[in-house]
Structure 1
């Protein structure tokens, strides 16, 4: 008994005196989350008078994605906050202050933060799947355009229609419609991880192509199901996983707009 008590005391002593440490990769990512956006914004200073704020924001979003790929969701969110702050400090008038006088600059800074958080979560999701993350400028531009529209438009219908068009172009669809609040039948489904199921079984879309019939992509707002995009595949090749992950993100943005503005009719 005394031997067990002594061993327990030694274990407790080691537990109390051993500090919790972050993995090296996470520590590097957190450092990069603070320093990366600062250095990127500083590098853009000589070009700030001729560089549009949208392009500057996209550069910073790429940095956020790189940080999220290296580290975790926490690092990605921290990088988004850092990017928004240094965008304000270095790239908006009055320069070298945290004051913004123009409403357009305020909107751009807010959108940078929102898009940065969204894309960092997408990058973290892709990292968990051990795939290439979304860094293509065209993909980032789609997400940015949708976030900007959701921010400026008072109509959920407008956002949903925009996402329908984006999905059609992004995925090479023949057609795309939106169904509000219906879950009829069991069509093939495009999931949050970019994978596809047909019925209850997984479908190897990269090898076998799209399954027959329309494919549903559900839209959620604040964790609640609000509707679905019904995708009619076109004759071309199946888009890569990157594009399918972007499609899921666009559907999430439509779901957020629906959750804020209320129901819309079918498209």
Structure 2
């Protein structure tokens, strides 16, 4: 599993931040109650979880419980716990930290999904409006190329007019990728090698295809992103079809 820079940073913070917190409060361990100190550790766990993912939050919860035990329960500088109250506090800190980290990570995911959905809707709306108002299908094709690069995280995208040539991998309207008519396991295998085609056709009339080149070593886009890409291509196909029919009308 590849981790983003943000997730790596969060994992590092999950390990280091609780230790740093324990050391900062070390001179005050006789004056600050363990309950208040546990709440401080909880704040650190929440902050790490909000920055990273569930794994980072779990690491932060475990690290917080461990360093709370090591530095702030007797015997000091030992992972042993003799007092029942200390044991309960450490266990509750760990369990509550896990729960809070899951909730914080979930909130981050929901926020990202909401922002992504809004972005996708805006792209579709703008492209649809251009397809309806533009007098040139080339403008719609250029706009669709730019949007596909953003939505699918591509290194390149070009459009081919005319007939099909060869049998490259294909991204279908349902979001699946096919290689030689077999469904490719995109989530497990990543993008297939070489260019991938998105066919621009409408009502069975083929207008051309977008040839996309994924960014090397990039994570495959979500199914939602692939479906948005298919909808964008459909808008371009409709604009091209309108131009084709206009050209064939008798003067």
Counterpart for residue 211 of structure 2:
230
What is the alpha-carbon distance in structure 1 between the residues aligned to residue 170 and residue 127 of structure 2? 23
Contact kept in structure 2, 1:220 and 1:226, CA below 8 Å = yes
User: How many equivalent residue pairs?
Assistant: 132
TM-score (norm 2): 0.50
The 5 A counterparts of 1:155-174 are: 155-174=136-155
SS at match of 1:149: helix
Q: Give the secondary structure class of the aligned counterpart of 1:219.
A: strand
| Cα pair 1:167 1:173 within 8 Å, conserved | yes
Match of 2:224 in 1: 242
Alpha-carbon shift at residue 135 of structure 1 (Å): 8.1
Trace 1:168-207 onto structure 2 (pairs within 5 A): 168-207=149-188
The CA distance in 2 between the partners of 1:181 and 1:250, in whole Å, is: 19
* Structure 1 residue 151, shift from structure 2 partner: 1.6
Give SS of 1:162's match. Answer: helix
Superposed displacement of residue 222, structure 1:
2.9
Structure 2: state its 5+ residue gaps: 1-112, 246-251
Structure 1 partner of 2:82: none
Please state how far the C-alpha of 1:201 moved relative to its aligned partner. Answer: 1.4
Any conservation in 2 of the 1:142–1:166 contact (CA below 8 Å)? yes
Contact 1:222–1:256 under 8 Å retained in 2: no
Aligned counterpart in structure 1 of residue 200 of structure 2, from 219, 224, 240: 219
In 1, the alpha carbon distance for the partners of 2:162 and 2:119 equals: 31
Inter-partner Cα distance in structure 1 for 2:145 and 2:243:
18
Distance of 1:261 and 1:224 partners within structure 2: 13
CA distance in 1, matches of 2:172, 2:203: 17
Deviations, residues 38-63 of structure 1 (Å, cap 9, x unaligned): xxxxxxxxxxxxxxxxxxxxxxxxxx
TM-score, with length taken from structure 1: 0.47
Which structure has the greater CA radius of gyration? 2
Structure 2 counterpart of 1:140, from 121, 134, 137: 121
Q: Residues 38-187 of structure 1: matches in 2 within 5 Å? A: 136-187=117-168
User: 1:230 & 1:216 partners in 2: Cα distance?
Assistant: 5
Q: Where does structure 1 differ by over 3 angstroms across 4 or more consecutive aligned residues?
A: none
CA distance, structure 2, for counterparts of residue 135 and residue 249 of structure 1: 16
Between the aligned partners of 1:223 and 1:256, the Cα distance in structure 2 is: 11
Is contact 1:217-1:248 (8 Å) kept?
A: yes
Match of 1:255 among 234, 237, 244: 237
Task: Report the Cα distance in structure 1 between the residues aligned to 2:163 and 2:190, rounded to whole angstroms.
Answer: 26
Q: CA separation in 2, counterparts of 1:165 and 1:135?
A: 17
Change (3 A) 1:258 1:171: same
Structure 1 gap segments, 5+ residues each:
1-131
1:145 CA displacement: 0.4
